Structure 1
């Protein structure tokens, strides 16, 4: 198949490109940065310059690529700006979906998150409603996710990948990156909040597998949702940070982790790193 990949030069996109090529697909990677075009081409894909906020230009780029599938791996988190990331999810997704529809593309695979679910007792499944009634900053994030997923579902064949927290090269969770520095500064407490993780290589493998999945949302995370009491000390050790302070505060209601049963048992996707326990140390 011929894939138009928006976000091809990002931390995840740089893994998705070779994974797609390795399965015999053709890839056209979108970037707005001329310097990143060389990165995409070095991976073996064709690069096209464009901006997802330029609706007309994006439509022209998608039409010229003549893709069978559009893949959405766009984020804007390089500076830790969640408002910018929400804008990509709302405006960028809208423009990308419209461009796909105008080009006659039927299938889209899009990146979402698995920590947008409403509060509850255990790991959330895909049937759990999104959390649109929390604090304003959380509602802004989850509202962006809802907008993304609603727009993507306008295409006949859509798959939303609700990724766990990404770790590995190019993410906030590699040595020297944002969360590692927070850990070194003593600003990453080991608390009761539960997280689900997924390594970027496993996230990329799910994106490739999703080319054949039935429409719907899928949690893409490892097999072990865990409280910060468990994972934070392991992460701190892996990045050379001191032992974290322990917090005995109650778990935040929505910080419940996600259940990967659908992906693993029904769709046959199996992460190579089944737990962050060994994944952090060989990221």
Structure 2
């Protein structure tokens, strides 16, 4: 297939592009930076500079790639700009889906997050509702809700709700942002209960999902995690001593039963096996 990988230079994209190229696909990888596209081009992809926030730029990339399928891995978290990342999820997703519809592309695989469900101690499946504010009823993850709605409006749209990514190149890997902070003995998690997934396993899921049916699939390991357990493990891996382990919200872990039924089995079934690829 001709496949456009939007966000082809990020943690997952940089893994997905070589896998797709090696499988014989005609791959176009996008980034806002021409320099960051060099590894993708070395792996056999065509590099295209694209700003997903600009509909004209997105349309131009689609016209150049002439894709049969789109992989949506857009994020903006290198500088922890969470507002910017939310904006990209909303505007970038709409622009990608609009462009796909314009050129009659119905297949899109998109990266979402797995800890969006209503808080509960029991791991949730893909039918769990996105958490809402108990007072206003507003979604606590409006950007995620928009991304998923847009992608699922396509006949062959697949949303992958990824667990927290760990492994080389992630915030939890060597020299990663959260690992550096853990050196001081402090971990402040977004949610108490969550699930992890190794970045290599996430990339394999993206490639496999190009053949999966329409819908949402959780991509998480076999071992639901509580910050009371993984927080100290991260601190110890960083060479520190636990001082303060906290979480801003309760959150919820996820089940990977559906992904397993589709043939995806994590090669890293638990984050405990050498926590965060450091030991």
TM-score, length of structure 2 as denominator length: 0.92
Cα pair 1:132 1:143 within 8 Å, conserved: no
Q: CA deviation at 1:5?
A: 0.3
Structure 1 counterpart of 2:230: 231
1:197 is matched with 196
Q: Secondary structure at the match of 1:166?
A: strand
Instruction: Work out the CA distance in 1 between the residues paired with 2:134 and 2:30.
Output: 34
Contact preservation (8 Å) 1:183, 1:244? no
The alignment status of 1:181 with 2:180, answered yes or no, reads yes
Equivalent runs, 1:1-283 vs 2, <5 Å? 1-133=1-133, 139=139, 142-188=141-187, 193-245=192-244, 252-253=249-250, 255-264=251-260, 266-278=261-273, 280=275, 282=277
Give the whole-Å Cα distance in 1 for the aligned partners of 2:56 and 2:130.
Answer: 32
The more displaced of 173-182 and 94-103 is 173-182
CA RMSD of aligned residues (A): 2.3
Instruction: Flag the structure with higher helix content.
Output: 1
Residues 279 and 272 of structure 1: is their aligned pair in 2 closer, same or farther, counting only changes over 3 Å? farther
Tell me how many residue pairs correspond in the alignment.
Answer: 277
Q: Once the 2 structures are TM-superposed, how far is the Cα of residue 72 of structure 1 from its aligned partner? A: 0.2
For residues 131 and 190 of structure 1, do their structure 2 counterparts lie closer, same or farther at Cα, with a shift above 3 Å needed?
closer
Question: Contact between 1:113 and 1:162, CA under 8 Å: does it hold in 2?
Answer: yes
In 1, Cα distance between equivalents of 2:29 and 2:190:
40
Query: Gapped runs of 5+ residues in structure 1?
Result: none
**1:62-102 Cα shifts (integer Å, max 9, x gaps):** 12211110110000001111101101100011001111111
Segments of structure 2 that go 5 or more residues without pairing to the other structure are none
* Distance in 1, Cα, partners of 2:188 & 2:33: 36
SS of the aligned residue for 1:5 comes to strand
* C-alpha distance after superposition, 1:224-261 (max 9, x if no partner): 002122222222222223234466x9x944x2211111
Output the TM-score relative to the length of structure 1: 0.91
**Aligned to 1:70, what secondary structure does the other structure show?**
strand
Deviates more, 1:53-62 or 1:159-168: 53-62
Check the 8 A contact 1:132/1:139 in 2, yes or no. Answer: yes
Matched residue of 1:277: which SS?
coil
Distance 1:100 1:246, change over 3 A: closer
C-alpha separation between the residues in 2 aligned to 1:106 and 1:228? 39
Q: Structure 1 residues 192 and 92, CA, compared in 2 at 3 Å: closer, same or farther?
A: closer
